[in-house]
Structure 1
Amino acid sequence: MIAPEDDLDRIISVMERAFPPEYGEAWNRRQVADALLLGRCRYGLIGADGGSAVEPGDETAGFFLGRSILDEEELLLFAIAPEYRRQGLGHRLLSRFIDEARANGIKRVFLEMRHGNPAMHLYTAHGFTPVGIRRAYYRTPGGERLDAISQELVLD
């Protein structure tokens, strides 16, 4: 899937606002574009009004980026810009990601997140459960090491 340049701009804009730089979780534009070129990747945007079709000039509130292999998919990136959090947009966007995965024949969805990530409640609310830990995977600028938590959602 090749994303239009303005959609890449929207993804990067949200990511820059949403991901704390001290954890190094954000991808750069090239990484996002390359992932989409490799195939089996998809993305979705959500507007400030909750609509999925973001038109030129509309503010983008969030996005997801996923990659599937056979009947499994990994949620690679998921973000809602801070100014749009706590409005239900994260739930709406994650529901859309899961519904599309199910429609595409996906049986299991995986994600990995930093321990202490405030989005944990969102993933738990949608049925994700912890299945593994990568010890000391993330490093903060101060040298602190944080675990990465692998999560799984089994789809019917």
Structure 2
Amino acid sequence: MASLSVQLRAGDARDAGAAEQVMAAAFDPQWGEAWTRAQLLGVMAMPGVHLLIAEAGGEPAGFALTRAVMDEAELLLLGVVPDHRRHGIASALIRSVIADCAASGVVTLHLEVRSNNPAVLFYTAHGFAKCGERRNYYKGADGRHYDAHTYARAIG
């Protein structure tokens, strides 16, 4: 397998299109989890919100969007283009998010994920533990409902 050169950089509102591009490729439409540009820009305008862009070959390969309030933060979105999966991009993104949280005094990083999302294995491998559940929170395109699981990870 050829080595993949990936660069991480801070993003801003000008990168909403890159995040949209990644979501369109990475998020299965049956779950409706991709945000619109208006949703991205609305959240990105809030205090404490940070966008992290991963680029491979000058093209968007992944991103992470977080929001910090006081000493807690939430990972709002994390996605990697399918062609770039299994190259360590998601791990690089989450490690960078955790390091940024530590540097800014965050003590707990939270996230929420659909119960049947295979990303659960990724998050638990990176130190997140399930701490809550919202029953029947997500609805798939097939009409079935799925629980939302909340996870947290201590920083530091």
1:148 is paired with a residue whose SS is: strand
Residue 75 of structure 1 is matched in structure 2 by 75
Residue 150 of structure 1 is matched in structure 2 by 150
Residue 32 of structure 1 is matched in structure 2 by 40
Equivalent residue letter for 1:141? A
Q: Distance in 1 between matches of 2:39 and 2:11?
A: 13
Cα distance change of structure 1 residues 94 and 2 upon mapping to structure 2, 3 Å threshold: closer
Q: Distance in 1 between matches of 2:13 and 2:142?
A: 37
Number of paired residues? 147
Q: Distance in 2 between matches of 1:93 and 1:2?
A: 13
Give RMSD over aligned pairs: 1.5
Residue 124 of structure 1 is matched in structure 2 by 124
In structure 1, the gaps of 5 or more residues are 50-57
After TM superposition, give the deviation of residue 4 of structure 1 in Å: 4.0
Q: After superposition, what is the alpha-carbon deviation per residue over 1:119-142, rounded to whole angstroms, capped at 9, x for unaligned?
A: 112111110000011111000121
Are 2:135 and 2:147, in contact at CA under 8 Å, matched by a contact in 1? yes
Are 2:11 and 2:51, in contact at CA under 8 Å, matched by a contact in 1? no
Q: Distance in 1 between matches of 2:126 and 2:75?
A: 13
After TM superposition, give the deviation of residue 3 of structure 1 in Å: 2.0
In structure 2, the gaps of 5 or more residues are 1-9
Cα distance change of structure 1 residues 2 and 88 upon mapping to structure 2, 3 Å threshold: closer
Q: Taking every aligned residue pair, what percent have the same amino acid on both sides?
A: 36
Equivalent residue letter for 1:41? V
TM-score (norm 1): 0.90
Residue 5 of structure 2 is matched in structure 1 by none
Equivalent residue letter for 1:104? S
1:95 aligns with 2:95: yes
Are 2:109 and 2:154, in contact at CA under 8 Å, matched by a contact in 1? yes
1:21 aligns with 2:29: yes
Q: After superposition, what is the alpha-carbon deviation per residue over 1:1-31, rounded to whole angstroms, capped at 9, x for unaligned?
A: 98242x1110000011111111111110011
Are 1:135 and 1:148, in contact at CA under 8 Å, matched by a contact in 2? yes
Q: Distance in 2 between matches of 1:87 and 1:43?
A: 20
